Amino acid sequence: MADNKGLSMAASCIALRGVRIFLNASKAAAARRVSPPVQRRRPKPVVPGAKPPQKVFDALVKTTKFNKYELEALFTMYRTLVMAAQSAVPTTGIGQTAPKTDGIDQSTFRDVLHNTFDLVTEEAILDRIWVTWERGAAGGEGAIKFEAWARGLSRMLRGTDEERRTHCFAVYDLNADGWITKDEMFSLLKNSLLKQPGDEDPDEGVRDLVELVLKKMDIDKDGRVSFEDYRQAVEQEPLLLEAFGQCLPSKRHAVTFLRTLVAK
């Protein structure tokens, strides 16, 4: 069968094992979105755009760390996620179906991070991962399309040390100005720490922690952390990579997911 006439039989078999993982996330998203059946009419699933031309897969083989069969399996998962999310879109107040997103929307994206990669992290971190993920030509536009989905997963799951550092720094740089400031550290750490019984001023404890982290990471001592500061600090102490919150899957969850893309 020609490459452009659907997924190869081998890739389809590979993908089906991984689709089960994503269906749990999709069902969770659907349960939150669908209103009671007596009031809403469940729309018929809409199949997203056709399989990208072969040149897209050829380019992704060169620009990601996935091979052809893994990419085809990822596309099957991607299509399943989009279709599940589209089928859950409720009707509007006048009985018309709301516009459907051609891509992975934010709610589905968060479910995948939770259910597939076990990123049980702060809401602010999840929002930042979504914001920094490649979306649209200018970034931050609409849903995540397949090419961006594959490139992002490649960085998260098989990225080099530099790619992982770049990803984490972008997540922590809340205003995307190239620096992690004390205020940003305070905001990130405050959200990640639980208030202990008897704490009269929990913010004071967070400020003390900010000062400790700053001493470790502010290499040039200018009162803020640049990417070069961050790189050097993480090279000296790898545990500082996710100093302000988890934004990468654990090795165990990454390996488990990648196994679903490999034929037995």
- Domain total in the chain: 2
Ranges 18-27, 80-89, 131-140: which has the least confidence: 18-27
- Domain-located, residue 111: yes
Q: Are residues 100 and 131 in the same domain?
A: no
Question: What does the pLDDT look like over 48-68, one tens digit per residue?
Answer: 556 788 999 999 999 999 999
Mean pLDDT, the chain, whole residue set: 79
Spatial separation of the C-alpha atoms in residues 64 and 47, rounded to whole Å: 26
Asked whether the predicted pLDDT for residue 26 surpasses 70, the reply is no
* Prediction pTM value: 0.74
For 104, the domain range is 9-118+249-259
- 3 state SS of 104: strand
- Domain-located, residue 151: no
Q: Are residues 23 and 83 in the same domain?
A: yes
Q: Are residues 108 and 192 in the same domain?
A: no
Backbone dihedral region of 139: left (phi > 0), alpha (psi from -120 to 50 degrees) or beta? left
Spatial separation of the C-alpha atoms in residues 248 and 21, rounded to whole Å: 18
Q: Are residues 101 and 175 in the same domain?
A: no
Mean pLDDT of 231-259: 93
33 pLDDT band, cuts 50/70/90, is very low
